[in-house]
A = this chain, B = another copy of it.
């Protein structure tokens, strides 16, 4: 980073993130992410705010360059680099909004982690939205490329949330089927609705269950060509028997030639490109979420114990993130 840049980079990024968070809260993200122009009236309708309010916020977006006027003066177009700016905003929003309870109560978490953890929890929606913004360039492209390249007939996503990744994959692979597993009933319902909207509902099964449950019941991963687990497997690493049981369930159930794709973060990466965000990510997981992220060698050892003989590890763009592909 060039800290003597003549541009005020931090001010630009902070303003973008705040304005995109406001837009998200007003229900305008869909308009801002689409390629076609939108109108002042659509802003009023989507946000359910009076004309003056829609004008005021559109003026801010125009001045910030997040939106431009179309040839028709009543038409507005998202800026051509919206995807880049939303990706950048994701880091700010994850660090300073989604993790707000951990930042504001840092002293309590260092004094009495268990009590603080019981009292102060993150808002799942803020975590999901900011993670999605980071993931747009931070890890989804690598994962999607890896999985679609394998042309899997059946894909299982562990910790699938609202099903975004699977719906994307099933849309790209029209002959494939998928199973979304998540602990959150609300996320599962959202995944079912989203799959119907995307017209892949008949090819997507949604299972409201914990990852741990795979130890006893392998059926959700049975005959999968790809099992994916993004930033969820670290939740079970503190219980090695559970981690080993889940990995063994995958190894035993995956179809011939299939693989397990684990996207996760490794701790305290020293690389200059990764060190700052990796430090925050590692510290918050350790101090506030009781998650000790395993380093690459521990992941490799765990895959080996479960019987996987061919394991690769690839850094993705999000600092500290790694994609493990376990096969064989």
A319: CB under 8 A from chain B?
Answer: yes
| Contact across chains for B277 and A60 when beta carbons are under 8 A apart | no
The distance from the CB of A83 to the nearest CB of chain B, in whole angstroms, is 10
| Contact across chains for A59 and B93 when beta carbons are under 8 A apart | no
Chain A positions 1 through 30: 1 when the CB is less than 8 Å from some CB of chain B, otherwise 0: 111011111111111111101100110000
| Contact across chains for B63 and A14 when beta carbons are under 8 A apart | no
A256: CB under 8 A from chain B?
Answer: no
Interface residues of chain A: helix, strand, loop or mixed (majority)? helix
Checking B21, B62, B283 against A96 with a beta-carbon cut-off of 8 angstroms, the contacting residue is B21
User: What are the residues of chain B within 8 A of A81 when measuring CB–CB?
Assistant: 3
A191: CB under 8 A from chain B?
Answer: no
| Contact across chains for B99 and A96 when beta carbons are under 8 A apart | no
User: What are the residues of chain B within 8 A of A84 when measuring CB–CB?
Assistant: 3
Q: Of A42-50, A170-178, A206-214, A216-224, which stretch is located at the interface?
A: A42-50
User: What are the residues of chain B within 8 A of A26 when measuring CB–CB?
Assistant: 106-107, 110
Q: Of A149-157, A226-234, A237-245, A267-275, which stretch is located at the interface?
A: A267-275
Sorting the interface of chain A by its residue count into under 10, 10 to 19, 20 to 34 or 35 or more gives 35 or more
User: What are the residues of chain B within 8 A of A90 when measuring CB–CB?
Assistant: 10
| Contact across chains for B8 and A59 when beta carbons are under 8 A apart | no
Q: Which of A19, A22, A287 has the most CB of B within 10 A?
A: A22
The distance from the CB of A108 to the nearest CB of chain B, in whole angstroms, is 10
CA distance A2 to B60 in the complex (A): 22
A282: CB under 8 A from chain B?
Answer: yes
Checking B13, B64, B96, B279 against A97 with a beta-carbon cut-off of 8 angstroms, the contacting residue is B96
